[in-house]
């Protein structure tokens, strides 16, 4: 391939969405962020929604900006967060703005399940029961908004909706489907058993997409808006942002440990087949579908969301926009034993005041006294995240009976030097960072298969290695029982 390909990724996350241009010269990809805007939920009458039409409008405007810098767009791929969806009627009209997973209307359905029923769901799908899984939100809609559910003909996940609006073609992309708990990681199909048990029609789902294949071309009205007269293919990529980020891991080895660090931290390994055993279940691990039907055995953990909330609150308390270096310096002021907390405790899911909630917990558990001390709280967050990573990697090594020498960290959290160093100390492993824009890079790289059909995931990762600068954190192993102390709090 001699001509440079101009490949577009829409990377839509919980906190922001961006359009990234990737220029592929046959060897490496150079990326440029064309536009970025904050993403946020909108509360209406007690429900939290995503302002979806604003997201779609942003994407169309950004494509116009792309065409100011290049003479042609060769392909487009979409990736977003998982679990959230919208329903469509028989005429293809979207019935509702997508509800956010931070609503609680589905949680009661998970709580109503017996332990045996939860285990059966895991063994059927490979997916761990979690209150944010689409299955429970869908049941919440059935009860709280029955007319909406009754009018529904199709269900599209967030990236599927964007693909549909761009092409007029409805598909369900497999990595996104795997976050619903309605999809079997073993068969790579919708589970009839789960649908029957929860009275969900299988007809809600469309054809399952294939990575590297064209979904459809840009519809004529959008081409007219862009002022172009040629077709632009929209390519099926691993649309769950975790799956795209893992595709962009610069690994040489076939089996490796990774942390995809963003709003959430996904801690795991990539496998050819799911591991659906009691040991996996008891370790709170889950089998999500990745690029080209690989399996990412992982734990979905709270990630930089807590640090971002802490920084925002500290900025408000000090009346200025503190840099991350300043935040780290505050943490370094803590003296004495480092207090810890379970970063995945529900009380830290979305409290009104994250810093105060953590402080209250530390006081309650006898680890802290007095008023809120920001240095103690920040240090506790950093150390608790590193201990969570170390504990999870231990569990993964145990269930697959393999030891890792390296842990690859990709995503925005890979720039957090302190947490990288602490993770190296608590695991005794080399921490290798990948690209900060790993989700976009993985999205773009998978689109290469549309142009080069023989390209494999190993070939794609070779392109990734040529396209990024990695950094290695190699620290002396320091545990001193701190990881076990963290585990005792879970």
* C-alpha torsion sign, points 471, 476, 477, 481: negative
Q: What is the largest CA-CA distance in the chain?
A: 68
If pLDDT is split at 50, 70 and 90, which confidence band does 128 have? very high
Residue 42, pLDDT score: 92
Alpha carbon 406 to its chain centroid, in Å, reads: 21
Q: List for the chain the helix, strand, coil content (%; round to 5).
A: 40, 20, 40
Residue 15, pLDDT score: 82
- Interval 260-297: pLDDT, tens: 888 888 999 999 999 999 999 999 999 999 999 999 99
Return the closest-CA partner of residue 138 out of 185, 164, 99, 92: 99
The percentage of residues in the chain with a pLDDT greater than 90, rounded to a whole number, is 80
Residue 293, pLDDT score: 95
Helix/strand/coil for 21: strand
If pLDDT is split at 50, 70 and 90, which confidence band does 106 have? confident
Question: Cβ distance 372 to 355 under 8 Å?
Answer: yes
Known catalytic residue at 254: no
Structure-token pair, residue 112: 């109503």
Is residue 122 pLDDT above 60, yes or no?
A: yes
- Cα separation of 146 and 468, whole Å? 49
Is residue 351 pLDDT above 90, yes or no?
A: no
Question: Cβ distance 99 to 84 under 8 Å?
Answer: yes
Helix/strand/coil for 100: coil
Catalytic residue among 74, 84, 160, 241: 241
Tell me phi and psi for residue 409, to 5 degrees: -115, 125
Residue 413, pLDDT score: 82
Mean predicted confidence (pLDDT) in 420-438: 90
Listing DSSP states for 160-194 in one string gives HHHHHHHHS---B-HHHHTTTTSEETTTTEE-HHH
Helix/strand/coil for 197: helix
Residue 1, pLDDT score: 46
Q: Which residue has the tokens 């496998």?
A: 271
Query: Exposed/middle/buried for 258, CB within 10 Å: 0-12, 13-18, 19+?
Result: buried
Task: Out of 106-110, 226-230, 464-468, pick the least confident.
Answer: 106-110
Ordered by where they begin, the domains of the chain are 5-226 (3.30.420.40), 248-435+470-490 (3.30.420.40)
Query: Exposed/middle/buried for 116, CB within 10 Å: 0-12, 13-18, 19+?
Result: exposed
197 Cβ contact partners less than 8 Å away, ≥ 6 residues apart: none
Is residue 119 pLDDT above 60, yes or no?
A: yes
Q: Dihedral through CA 490, CA 329, CA 15, CA 387, nearest 10?
A: -20
Mean predicted confidence (pLDDT) in 402-407: 94
Is residue 120 pLDDT above 60, yes or no?
A: yes
Question: Cβ distance 43 to 52 under 8 Å?
Answer: no
Is residue 145 pLDDT above 60, yes or no?
A: yes
- Interval 194-207: pLDDT, tens: 999 999 999 999 99
Question: Cβ distance 297 to 271 under 8 Å?
Answer: yes
Q: How far is CA 159 from CA 3, 123, 165, 223, in A?
A: 29, 27, 10, 20
Is residue 153 pLDDT above 90, yes or no?
A: yes
Is residue 396 pLDDT above 90, yes or no?
A: yes
If pLDDT is split at 50, 70 and 90, which confidence band does 2 have? low
Q: How far is CA 339 from CA 50, 361, 391, in A?
A: 36, 10, 17
- Cα separation of 15 and 476, whole Å? 35
Residue 247, pLDDT score: 95
pTM (predicted TM-score): 0.88
Is residue 457 pLDDT above 90, yes or no?
A: yes
Q: Dihedral through CA 251, CA 253, CA 257, CA 262, nearest 10?
A: 10
Residue 171, pLDDT score: 98
Is residue 345 pLDDT above 50, yes or no?
A: yes
Q: Which of 11-20, 97-106, 181-190 shows the highest mean pLDDT?
A: 181-190
Mean predicted confidence (pLDDT) in 107-116: 92
Mean pLDDT of the chain: 93
Q: What DSSP designation does 81 have? A: -
Q: How far is CA 275 from CA 12, 71, 108, 320, 337, in A?
A: 29, 47, 28, 48, 38
- Cα separation of 186 and 5, whole Å? 35
Helix H or strand E segment including 381: helix 374-400
Listing DSSP states for 232-294 in one string gives -EEEP---BHHHHHHHT----SSS-EEEEESSEEEEEEEESS---SHHHHHTT-EEEE-GGG-
């Amino acid at each position: 391939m001699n001509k440079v390909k101009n490949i577009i990724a829409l990377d839509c996350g919980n906190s922001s969405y961006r359009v990234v241009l990737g220029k592929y010269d046959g060897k490496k990809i150079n990326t440029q962020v064309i536009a970025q805007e904050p993403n946020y939920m909108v509360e209406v009458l007690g429900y939290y929604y995503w302002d979806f039409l604003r997201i779609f409008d942003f994407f169309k405007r950004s494509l116009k900006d792309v065409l100011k810098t290049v003479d042609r767009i060769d392909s487009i791929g979409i990736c977003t967060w998982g679990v959230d969806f919208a329903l469509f009627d028989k005429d293809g009209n979207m019935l509702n703005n997508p509800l956010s997973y931070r609503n609680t209307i589905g949680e009661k359905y998970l709580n109503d399940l017996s332990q045996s029923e939860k285990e059966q769901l895991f063994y059927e799908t490979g997916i761990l029961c979690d209150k944010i899984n689409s299955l429970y939100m869908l049941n919440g809609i059935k009860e709280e908004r029955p007319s909406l559910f009754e009018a529904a003909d199709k269900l599209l996940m967030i990236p599927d909706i964007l693909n549909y609006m761009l092409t007029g073609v409805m598909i369900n992309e497999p990595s996104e489907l795997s976050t619903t708990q309605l999809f079997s990681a073993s068969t790579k199909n919708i589970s009839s058993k789960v649908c029957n048990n929860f009275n969900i029609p299988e007809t809600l789902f469309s054809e399952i997409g294939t990575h590297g294949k064209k979904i459809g071309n840009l519809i004529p009205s959008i081409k007219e808006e862009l002022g172009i007269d040629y077709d632009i293919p929209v390519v099926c990529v691993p649309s769950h942002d975790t799956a795209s980020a893992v595709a962009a891991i610069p690994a040489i080895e076939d089996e490796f440990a990774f942390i995809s660090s963003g709003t959430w931290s996904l801690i795991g390994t990539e496998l050819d087949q799911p591991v659906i055993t009691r040991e996996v279940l008891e370790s709170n691990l889950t089998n999500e579908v990745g690029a080209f039907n690989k399996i990412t055995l992982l734990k979905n953990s709270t990630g930089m969301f807590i640090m971002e909330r802490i920084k925002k609150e500290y900025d408000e308390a000090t009346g200025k926009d503190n840099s991350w270096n300043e935040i780290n310096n505050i943490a370094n002021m803590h003296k004495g034993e480092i207090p810890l907390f379970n970063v995945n405790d529900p009380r830290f899911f979305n409290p009104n005041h994250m810093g105060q909630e953590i402080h209250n917990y530390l006081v309650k558990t006898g680890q802290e006294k007095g008023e809120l001390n920001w240095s103690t709280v920040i240090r506790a967050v950093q150390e608790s995240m590193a201990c969570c990573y170390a504990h999870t990697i231990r569990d993964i090594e145990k269930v697959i009976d393999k030891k890792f020498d390296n842990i690859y960290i990709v995503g925005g959290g890979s720039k957090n030097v302190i947490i990288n160093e602490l993770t190296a100390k608590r695991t005794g492993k080399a921490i290798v960072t990948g690209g900060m824009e790993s989700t976009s890079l993985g999205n773009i790289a998978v689109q290469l298969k549309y142009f080069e059909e023989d390209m494999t995931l190993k070939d794609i990762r070779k392109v990734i290695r040529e396209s990024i600068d990695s950094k290695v954190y190699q620290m002396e192993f320091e545990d001193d029982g701190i990881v076990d102390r963290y585990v005792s709090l879970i």
